[in-house]
Structure 1
Amino acid sequence: MSLEQTLSSLPKNPGVYQYFDAQGRLLYVGKAKNLRNRVRSYWRFTPTLRPNPDQSPRILKMLHEAASLDYLVVESEADALILENSLIKQLKPKYNILLRDDKTYPYIYLDESQDFPRFELTRKVVRGKKIRYYGPFPSGGRALLDALYALFPLVQKAGCLRGKKACLFHQIGRCPAPCEGKITPDAYRQGVEAAKEAIHNLPLILKRLEERMMQLAEQERFEEAAKVRDQIEAIRGLEIRSEIDLAREEDYDIFAIDPGKDRGVVVRLFMRRGRITASSHSFFRHTEAYEPEEAYAQALLDFYREEAPLTAATILLPLALEQREELEKVLSRRLGRKIRILHPQRGPKAQLTRLALTNAAELLRRETSPTVTPIENRIAELFGLERTPWRVEVFDNSHLMGEAPVGAMVAWDEGKWAKNSYRRYRLEARDEYHQMMEMLQRRIGDFDKEPPPDLWLLDGGETLRRLAEDLLRQAGVNLPVLAIAKEKLDAKAHRAKGAARDLLHGPAGTLHLDPKDPRLQWLQRLRDEAHRYAITYHRNKKRREDRQVALLQTKGIGPATLKKLLDCFGTFKAIEKADFNTLQKVVGPTMAKRLIESLS
């Protein structure tokens, strides 16, 4: 169906629409309360179909590239908002801003239903009738928790309550020993209340820690003093000093976004009981695609998730959102309580939003380095990438003549290895092409949980790069793919000889860079880390399989039987899980019985 035909048949339901270019690449994802009215507002229909000149330059540029349109109908505008945010993260459209996903921050929580409650850290909702949360604490949460246990008479370890005898913590005066009945629940609660007050009074905690550090230093306990010093620095990082005077002790989350020129930042301030107790920020990159309303909606939807605790029901923003009501509905439904989004224009609340904007501008100023061009920018320029590849995922596979095939993915994020994102894959395929296909398909299947990066890099040639492009195109994902491979000498790639050079395969063709070129060396560094991670996994897997082979051979199960089993089941793990009836169909009842006995 042509673009004009789709425009003429749009329904009046709420939904999400997607513009594609002539090659089928996704350009833009938007949402609408009324699809027909919203999408048709982009166009003029007489004398011929053409973009509406009243649109922003960014949208006009997108419309001139648009060749087709698709849409999805949903139940409500709130549902459209959620779906739009999800599709933007999964599919990375060219003209949508893409903020970095907010990680889940830790909270300190207290279960006040217990006789002797303890403060604990959590990143998820803890079920209970009398759970109280403090935070979030993007940094310094662990240091603050440790300080509470160092400064107040609390049960130091969860296991202490299960014991029947006072431990060392009681002897050094840090635990009141409820395990021996040396304190009543009411008396213990006084210490808990003092600790609760201290969480909202960081200067008090810092003062007491500094006194403790000086005492330890005077006693020449320098290692312990150094640990307290590190605690102080971590907790001090939670503070943003503010002279803003609120008439009441209220809780607010304050968000501010400064887009900068090509690098933006999201700042979050967390005010509890009238004091700013913590802050966080995250940088993002954008092109001409920045749109304030879209950016703030993404920031809120990414931060407030179902599994995260919430301690503030009011969110302050430095601008008014047209979709405020829909966002409030979505967040209230997610978090199980009434959420308000406010745009204060005067008074202390407006001062808070200005404080957040000031901090955002200062963060960008500190990060700006006009004399040094990041290597990621140079890679984007070299290959003509639409986005700077701040996050890169690198893939490699490893096997020994088809045995113990494994795959590995490593991730590079904002100048460092993101080791929490490393992934290992057990593969079934026996050739490198299908091994890479299997690994990439599984990664694409996880895009709804872990959004795609800015770039994929494969250890391989143009054939594997085109395979990745085809898989991404089938999934509707905009993601550039590069491949790096050894130049072949005499039809072979000689890694050890040093004469062969690496070739870079990109969308525009193959590049030969000088071995001393920093851009090539950076890509080689990424490739080598993926290769190291893959080969380590392969060796460990092969070693385990060799032990299993040796064990089975001692039980009289020979190589021919093993080959038959592996050809049928694929892996030793699958053989272990097979029951007697399944095994006897492959190797007969006698051998099946022997296998069951050996593997058990």
Structure 2
Amino acid sequence: MNLEETIKQLPDSAGIYQYFDKDGRLLYIGKAKSLAKRVKSYFNFTPNLKPNTNLSSRITKMISQTLSMNYIVVNSEHDALILENSLIKQLAPKYNILLRDDKTYPYIYIDNSAEYPRFEITRKIIKSADIKYYGPYSVGARDILDSIYEICKLVQKKGCLKSKKLCLYYQIRKCLGPCELDVSKEKYAKELDLAKELIQNKKTLLKKLEERMLFYAQNLRFEEAGELRDRCERISRSEIKSEIDFASDENYDIFVLEHTEHRAVVVRIFMREGKIISSSHDYIQLHEGYDENELYQRVLMDFYSGEKPPIIAPILVASDFEGREIIEEYLTTLFEKKAEIRVPKRGDKKQLIELALINAAELLKREHKHNSDEMADEIKELFSLQKLPLRVEVFDNSHMAGVATVGAMAVYESGKFDKKSYRTYHLDSKDEYSQMRELLTKRAESFAKNSPPDLWIIDGGATLLKLALEILESSGTYLDVIAISKEKIDAKAHRAKGKASDIIHIKDDIFRLKDSDKRLHWVQKLRDEAHRCAINFHKKTKLKLDQESRLLELKGISQAKIVKLIKHFGTFEMLKKVSIEEISSVLNIKDANIIKNIYK
């Protein structure tokens, strides 16, 4: 069935639709209350099937490349929204805007039903009517909490009251000692009130921390002063400065968007009880143009991702967007109360939007100064990539004679390594081909939780490139892949210092760039970082294995037998789990009993 026939037979039902190009690559995933009406709105049918004339240039380009489509019927538009969001994260279609901010934000909370309440951190709702929440915090929640316990004489740890004896915290004047002393509720409440004031008023908190920092510096305690300086910086970073002062105790979640040609930024501001308590931002790469309607939907869906937040506030946005009603419906179900998405036109709330927009524009300007896309443009053009390689994942393995086999994934985004996104893996496979297959399969299986990047770089040649493409195809995800290998002389990789020539492999071509080529240097830099990461993780793993080996050797298990066990079971962790019978199938029953006694 061709595209036109498929479109004409679409049902008048809710669902999601997928557009594919001539090579079967996924271009776009959309949702619809009525598949028939929505999809037909993209096309003119006479005299031939072509893009509708009233479409944006971005969508016109997409429809011009569309050669086939699939669709899935669901029960409601609400279900279509959830399925669309899930599939976009997992499959990263070319024309959809992909957000990678899937983190949850922590809250500080206090359980007022406790005899001597104390503050803790949570990311989820705690079922109790006596819980009071403060937040959310993008950064600095732990720093605020640590500061509270240093300044206020509260019960410091959960288990303190159970001991019934005064401890060190009382001796150093960090606790009133209600575990043993008769501390009145009124006296303890004064410390709680101070703590609440410091949580809600960062200026007061920072002033007290700066006084301590000065004291440490004057007493030549420079390390402690430095730690407080860093803490103050993190606490300050979590909040946009504002002179806006709401007379009432209102709560708002504010979201605004700004963009350039290749990048957008989302700024979030959280107002609680009339004060801005924290803010955050994330950059979003734009590969095929900007669509504010889609981006607002994705931003809100991703932030309130499937869990009711501890504090539910009206949502303020800079402009109305298509699909606002269905997002409100989704959030109403999630919140278990009516969700509100408002577009302020005047007054203090409009000032909040303007404040957020000013900060968004400044963030884009600052990011542009620090991160140039010139190299990404050159790499895309040279290798004919589908997307600008703004986020890249790089893979390498490491082992020693089949022992301590590990894999590593380094991540490079917008001109710098994103070390918090690095991942390391213990691998069971014995040969390098199987190890890379295991490593890439693990990553592909996690696309639903951690969206795919724009490009994979593999340390290897044409064989591993083909393997990576097969794994991606089987996962339903299209990604550009580059493999980089050492030049081989007499069937061996040529690694003499200053002489090593790297070969770059893509799907349909091989590149032998000059040693001075900056594009080659870019790929080498990323490959070398993944190699460094894999080697370091291998060393840590090998050290741990050596410690396990020494333990077995002390009990009479020889090194030869240990090697035999690891070759059979893969890791010491697996050895700890297997039965005596399984171990005795490799060694003898006496050794099996010794090993199980060690690990019981």
Structure 1 and Structure 2 fold alike (TM over 0.5): yes
Letter in 2 for 1:185: K
Q: Is the 8 A contact 1:328 1:341 kept in 2?
A: yes
Match for residue 347 of structure 1? 347
How far apart are the structure 1 equivalents of 2:5 and 2:372? 50
Letter in 2 for 1:288: E
Aligned length: 596
How far apart are the structure 1 equivalents of 2:575 and 2:209? 59
Letter in 2 for 1:79: D
How far apart are the structure 2 equivalents of 1:90 and 1:340? 29
Match for residue 595 of structure 2? 598
Alignment of 1:57-456 (within 5 A): 57-213=57-213, 224-306=224-306, 309-369=309-369, 375-400=375-400, 405-456=405-456
Letter in 1 for 2:321: L
Give the Å deviation of 1:414: 3.9
User: Secondary structure of the equivalent of 2:489?
Assistant: coil
User: Secondary structure of the equivalent of 1:80?
Assistant: helix
Q: Which range is displaced more, 484-493 or 319-328?
A: 319-328
How far apart are the structure 2 equivalents of 1:188 and 1:555? 59
Letter in 2 for 1:595: A
Q: Is the 8 A contact 2:245 2:275 kept in 1?
A: no
Q: Is the 8 A contact 1:15 1:33 kept in 2?
A: yes
Give the Å deviation of 1:318: 0.8
Evaluate the alpha carbon distance shift between residue 289 and residue 190 of structure 1 in structure 2; reply closer, same or farther with a 3 A threshold: same
User: Secondary structure of the equivalent of 1:396?
Assistant: strand
Q: Which range is displaced more, 208-217 or 149-158?
A: 208-217
Q: Which range is displaced more, 286-295 or 387-396?
A: 387-396
Deviations 1:57-83 (A, max 9, x none): 111111111111011122221121121
How far apart are the structure 2 equivalents of 1:371 and 1:541? 35
How far apart are the structure 1 equivalents of 2:170 and 2:545? 51
Q: Which range is displaced more, 532-541 or 259-268?
A: 532-541
Cα RMSD of the aligned pairs, angstroms, is: 3.2
Match for residue 501 of structure 1? 501
Match for residue 516 of structure 1? 516
TM-score, structure 2 normalization:
0.89
Q: Is the 8 A contact 1:305 1:335 kept in 2?
A: no
How far apart are the structure 1 equivalents of 2:501 and 2:352? 56
How far apart are the structure 2 equivalents of 1:256 and 1:310? 22
How far apart are the structure 1 equivalents of 2:542 and 2:151? 52
Deviations 1:365-410 (A, max 9, x none): 2222299555444433432333332322111223455555433322
How far apart are the structure 2 equivalents of 1:174 and 1:210? 18
User: Secondary structure of the equivalent of 1:60?
Assistant: helix
User: Percent identical across equivalent pairs?
Assistant: 49
Give the Å deviation of 1:24: 0.7
Evaluate the alpha carbon distance shift between residue 140 and residue 575 of structure 1 in structure 2; reply closer, same or farther with a 3 A threshold: closer
How far apart are the structure 1 equivalents of 2:404 and 2:504? 28
* Unmatched 5+ stretches in structure 2: none
How far apart are the structure 1 equivalents of 2:482 and 2:216? 56
Q: Which range is displaced more, 201-210 or 6-15?
A: 201-210
User: Secondary structure of the equivalent of 2:504?
Assistant: strand
How far apart are the structure 2 equivalents of 1:441 and 1:122? 33
How far apart are the structure 1 equivalents of 2:202 and 2:26? 48
Q: Is the 8 A contact 1:25 1:476 kept in 2?
A: no
Give the Å deviation of 1:296: 0.9
User: Secondary structure of the equivalent of 1:367?
Assistant: helix
Letter in 1 for 2:117: P
Evaluate the alpha carbon distance shift between residue 151 and residue 35 of structure 1 in structure 2; reply closer, same or farther with a 3 A threshold: same
How far apart are the structure 2 equivalents of 1:133 and 1:370? 37
Give the Å deviation of 1:282: 1.1
Give the Å deviation of 1:29: 0.7
User: Secondary structure of the equivalent of 1:369?
Assistant: helix
Alignment pair present for 1:38 and 2:38: yes
* Unmatched 5+ stretches in structure 1: none
Evaluate the alpha carbon distance shift between residue 371 and residue 434 of structure 1 in structure 2; reply closer, same or farther with a 3 A threshold: closer
Q: Which range is displaced more, 106-115 or 395-404?
A: 395-404
How far apart are the structure 2 equivalents of 1:581 and 1:26? 50
Evaluate the alpha carbon distance shift between residue 277 and residue 488 of structure 1 in structure 2; reply closer, same or farther with a 3 A threshold: same
Letter in 1 for 2:385: L
Evaluate the alpha carbon distance shift between residue 152 and residue 510 of structure 1 in structure 2; reply closer, same or farther with a 3 A threshold: same
Q: Is the 8 A contact 2:259 2:364 kept in 1?
A: no
Q: Is the 8 A contact 2:249 2:272 kept in 1?
A: yes
How far apart are the structure 1 equivalents of 2:557 and 2:116? 60
Deviations 1:278-335 (A, max 9, x none): 1111112213332101111111111123457432421100111332232123223334
How far apart are the structure 2 equivalents of 1:153 and 1:567? 56
Letter in 2 for 1:333: T
How far apart are the structure 2 equivalents of 1:257 and 1:208? 35
Evaluate the alpha carbon distance shift between residue 559 and residue 172 of structure 1 in structure 2; reply closer, same or farther with a 3 A threshold: closer
How far apart are the structure 1 equivalents of 2:37 and 2:195? 56
Evaluate the alpha carbon distance shift between residue 133 and residue 558 of structure 1 in structure 2; reply closer, same or farther with a 3 A threshold: closer
Q: Is the 8 A contact 2:372 2:415 kept in 1?
A: no
Q: Is the 8 A contact 1:488 1:500 kept in 2?
A: no
User: Secondary structure of the equivalent of 2:160?
Assistant: helix
Deviations 1:176-227 (A, max 9, x none): 2212234123431232133223322223333444445555566666655554
